[in-house]
Amino acid sequence: MAPASRTEFPDPVLVTSTADLNAVTARLRREPFITIDTEFVRERTYWPELCLVQLAGADEVVVVDALAPGIDLTSLGELLADENVIKVFHAARQDLEIFLHLFDRLPQPLFDTQVAAMVAGYGDQVGYDNLVSSLLGAQIDKSHRFSDWAARPLSPAQISYAAADVTYLRDVYLRLVAQLEREGRQDWMTAEMDVLNSPATFRPDPETLWERMRPRTSNRRMLGMLRAIAAWREREAQRVNVPRQRLVKDESLMEIAATGPGDVDGLARVRGISRGFAEGRSGQGLLEAIAVARREPDASLPRPPKGRGKDAPRPSAALVAMLKVLLAACCERHRVAPKLVASADDIDRLALEDAPEIPALQGWRREVFGTQALALKAGELTLGVENGAIRLIRA
């Protein structure tokens, strides 16, 4: 059972030295749980640049200046790895990506209050300030939301703003844990956290990134080219530490996959590719990737992802609409966020296939929605309206 919540918080302390950070992390390792947030910048880089780490225990709140000269974050990594301390985040994905890159491992164990809020029925990807308002009746000052966190010195207002992201988070966590316990949804939460506990979530395979571009073609040679150059772009963006879209935009990759330029002149004619880029190291690397893809045997070329390509079957728009209504009704009944139960791709595949291998037909999602979706398709379930709400009627 979670300990009682508290509503008063100590003033935040700015930590700028290794000695002070080591003392803080030693104290926090005696806590049953801590709350964590980060501030970072990444507009011009592939890897996020960590600027601040906010930490809160039962009796202290600290804001660690990750850019302070000479500061060593080793003890922070040891705290994050301590399996006796639960690490509580809100909307953890970007924070976890930062820590995985910095320490080569994910914090353990994890609890994400945004995921918990979706499991508990507070809506799709509810924001931290809205969750604080709903659960605690408190308001968070968001006036420093767009601060340049890499600029120094930090103002007292910036430090207070950053600290608020972990102080209220303690009570949010306690309230959500209590609610999940009351409603018997701890197993649901555990299943959802498995995704965040996997390093693969934050280190996508470069060879599969082409699928995210949703190419509308069945030409396997073009798909093979797209696979090769999308993988090259990902590795090159990491090497030079620039965002992948800043290196080469998706539209340019699609044109390159279709035309397969073989020299600097051809590459420079692609929209969005400059002559300087084409002549430089990155351009030469891209041309080499194109040449390798051109030699790939037909047998190893990729096929269009299921349900993609210009000749792929399309689901009935009416059936998709009915499944979406059913999803909303089921999630309303169980008080869980629809986005957590079934994605748009899940719905399309349910409409097209008899028994697709999708999350919506597995585990607790099948209980909430999947079984009813299959019954609707089989004509064993109809939808009606009663007292202003959708009613599920068994045939």
**Where exactly are the structural domains of the chain?**
13-201, 206-295, 317-394
DSSP class of residue 17 equals: S
- Residue 392: pLDDT band (50, 70, 90) is very high
CATH class for the domain made up of 13-201:
alpha beta
To the nearest whole number, what is the mean pLDDT of the chain? 94
**Topology alike, domains 206-295 and 317-394:** yes
The fold of the 317-394 domain, in CATH, is DNA polymerase; domain 1 (1.10.150)
Q: What are residue 335's phi and psi, to 5 degrees?
A: 55, 60
Q: What pLDDT does 299 receive?
A: 97
Instruction: State pLDDT tens for residues 244-285.
Output: 999 999 999 999 999 999 999 999 999 999 999 999 999 999
Average pLDDT over residues 287-313: 86
CATH class for the domain made up of 206-295:
mainly alpha
Q: Where on the phi/psi map is residue 121: left (φ > 0), alpha (ψ -120 to 50), or beta?
A: left
Return the percentage of the chain with pLDDT > 70, whole number.
96
pTM: 0.89
CB 176 within 8 A of CB 113: yes
Nearest to 328 by CA among 392, 393, 381: 392
- Residue 309: pLDDT band (50, 70, 90) is low
- Residue 9: pLDDT band (50, 70, 90) is confident
